[in-house]
Structure 1
Amino acid sequence: MKSASPALDDIDRLILATLQDEGRITNVELARRAGLTAPPCLRRVRALEDSGAIKSYHARLDERTLGYGITVFAMVSLKSQAEDDLRAFEERIATLPLVRECHMLNGEIDFILKIVARDLQHFQDFLTSSLTTLPNVESVKTSLTIRTAKALPGVPVDMAE
């Protein structure tokens, strides 16, 4: 059962920060860094997973190595902001693999999408055949990423309250 906000001590925070930075660390090494033996460290990790503090584990892939040379942010405005229409848009976006992130915003723009593509033509094809043609889409404004100065996954883990 996931709790809304698990009570975390300094060892939990250290475990979370370490796993976020080094997801493939062994339990033995994690326990050593946390000042624990392996069994209680593993119990803590499992408790953090069960509480929802740890959602999942992933390999962070290099988009360029895999042929995705550009990243684009698309600001999408919808014709209707009725809850059913918002959900329908989100459900459709969830089926589009090139869309890596989708965030609903407050303000003039309804959603911002992070999109990867092989090249500009690939993105243009996606834009005109998959995004602007979605029901309820009023407008799409795009910005091509020139370079990324910072891209950290996860969240900051405060080591003291």
Structure 2
Amino acid sequence: MLDAIDRQILSELERDGRISNKDLAAAAGIAPSTCHARVRALLDAGVLRGFHAVIDPEAVGRGLQAIIAVRLQAAARARLAEFARRIADRPEVRDVYMLGGSEDVLVHVAVRDAPALRAFVVEHLSTRPEVAHTQTSIVFEHLHAPTTASR
């Protein structure tokens, strides 16, 4: 169970993953040594999965983002995790979600332009024998919502 201090630590880290331990401890109202131990415990428990940089795709030449819904052939659903991992390894892919419902996978991609998006869909999805259907939606804007730890 997470207590109020753990939730405060998670909220602060989500807002700024580079916050110093000293500043994080001050925000949580605890000693720096206690804060360090709590962050380590959150990491060890898998609550805090790690730290990463958020990069603007447009700044690195991948200004077109899309969400692609993928439905697998019924016979291929047993290999869903394998399919998702293979797709997740592609450099264009930002996130992969395995779903329940009418679609099996959502793939969030960031590519250079429309021809690159078409090439990704054709080469890595729609022509694959295990794929029954794809539907591509263009992302106009992405707003990050904080997790429940900070609400």
Give the TM-score, by structure 1 length.
0.84
The amino acid across from 2:97 in the alignment is H
Q: Does 1:157 align with 2:149?
A: yes
> Structure 2 CA distance, aligned partners of 1:36 and 1:29?
10
The amino acid across from 1:26 in the alignment is S
Which stretch of the first structure deviates more once superposed, 66-75 or 107-116?
107-116
User: Where does 1:1-161 land on structure 2 (aligned, <5 Å)?
Assistant: 7-80=1-74, 82-148=76-142, 150-152=143-145, 155-157=147-149
Give 3-state SS (helix, strand or coil) of 1:88's partner: helix
> Structure 2 CA distance, aligned partners of 1:135 and 1:100?
23
CA contact (8 A) 2:87 2:93 kept: yes
- 1:62 Cα offset (Å): 0.7
CA contact (8 A) 1:85 1:136 kept: no
- 1:19 Cα offset (Å): 0.6
- 1:158 Cα offset (Å): 5.1
The amino acid across from 2:55 in the alignment is L
Give the TM-score, by structure 2 length.
0.89
Q: How much identity, in percent, do the aligned residues show?
A: 35
- 1:50 Cα offset (Å): 0.9
Shift in alpha-carbon separation, 1:73–1:40, aligned structure 2, 3 A: same
- Consecutive unaligned residues of structure 1, counting only runs of 5 or more, are 1-6
Task: List 4+ stretches of structure 1 deviating above 4 A.
Answer: none
Aligned-residue CA RMSD (Å) = 1.8
CA contact (8 A) 1:79 1:137 kept: yes
- 1:17 Cα offset (Å): 0.5
